[in-house]
Each structure stands twice: as C-alpha cells, then as structure tokens.
Homo-oligomer: A and B are copies of this chain.
C-alpha cells in the first residue's frame, strides 16, 4: 500500500482494512474510471459484497465519485479535490470512449452553469462526452 492510500483513508475517517487498501491503491494507479467488474478483474478473488460496500463507503466519504458516462454500469473515479463526507466538488466533464469503453475524467472541462427552467432548482450539473479517445483514434 502506498503511503498516499493510507493517508487518504485516515483523513477520511476510514479504518485501514486490506480491501480498502487494495481498492484505493488500484484507483491511484489508474487514470480511468472503474466499474465494480473492472475492480474484480484486477483484484483477483475478492468478495463481491465487500467490494460493493467499500465502493459505497468511499463514495459517501468523498474519496471517489460516480463517473456518469451514459452506460448502464456504475463507474467510479478518484476525487481530485477535497471532497468530504456527503460533499463532492467534482464538476469536471467525463469522456466515454465508444470503442474501448473506457471512461475518463476531463478536469480541463467544467460542467457549464445553466439557468434551470422556472420553478426548478439545480444542485449538480454533469457534462458527458462520447466518442473516440486518443488511444482509439
């Protein structure tokens, strides 16, 4: 486990367990968003349920965020900002490659601030691009 992972867990009031260390380490070495299935592939034989709860916990504590990409599968990526318990500050766009299926965070592009229709209030705005990534182009 990297020092970084240990520090991240500690700073988010999370106990250091094997599963959490392994999962977080994997996120730290990957630039693209990971689905639960991706994680299972990379981690080998791990308990599906524990992994599911680990991801939920990480998301609740602001360690990772859901990467909306228009597919029906949930994917997660590391938060780059100081997100905390129940608070996320990730406003970047996500890019989904229709060829390789990878989903990556595009920090350089922020979701636009748009005026909602009358009577509506907006708490988050997401921008999702689909197409071909640099690897597949």
| A residues neighboring B (CB under 8 Å) | 66, 68, 70, 72-74, 93, 95, 98, 106, 108-109, 111-112, 114, 116-134, 137
Of the A-B pairs whose beta carbons lie under 8 Å apart in the complex, a sample of 17, sorted by A's number, is A93-B114, A95-B116, A95-B120, A109-B117, A114-B127, A116-B131, A121-B137, A122-B130, A123-B130, A123-B131, A123-B132, A124-B129, A124-B131, A125-B127, A125-B128, A126-B127, A126-B130
Does B98 lie within 8 Å of A120, measured CB to CB? no
> Complex: how many Å from CA A119 to CA B131?
11
> Complex: how many Å from CA A132 to CA B95?
26
Does A128 lie within 8 Å of B126, measured CB to CB? yes
Does A128 lie within 8 Å of B93, measured CB to CB? no
CB distance from A116 to the nearest CB of B (A): 6
Contacts A118-B134, A120-B137, A125-B129 aside, 16 further interface pairs with beta carbons under 8 A come to A72-B72, A72-B74, A95-B117, A95-B120, A95-B122, A98-B123, A108-B117, A109-B117, A119-B137, A120-B129, A122-B131, A123-B130, A124-B129, A124-B131, A126-B126, A126-B127
Across-interface contacts of A106 in B (CB, < 8 A): 117
CB distance from A63 to the nearest CB of B (A): 19
Does A127 lie within 8 Å of B98, measured CB to CB? no
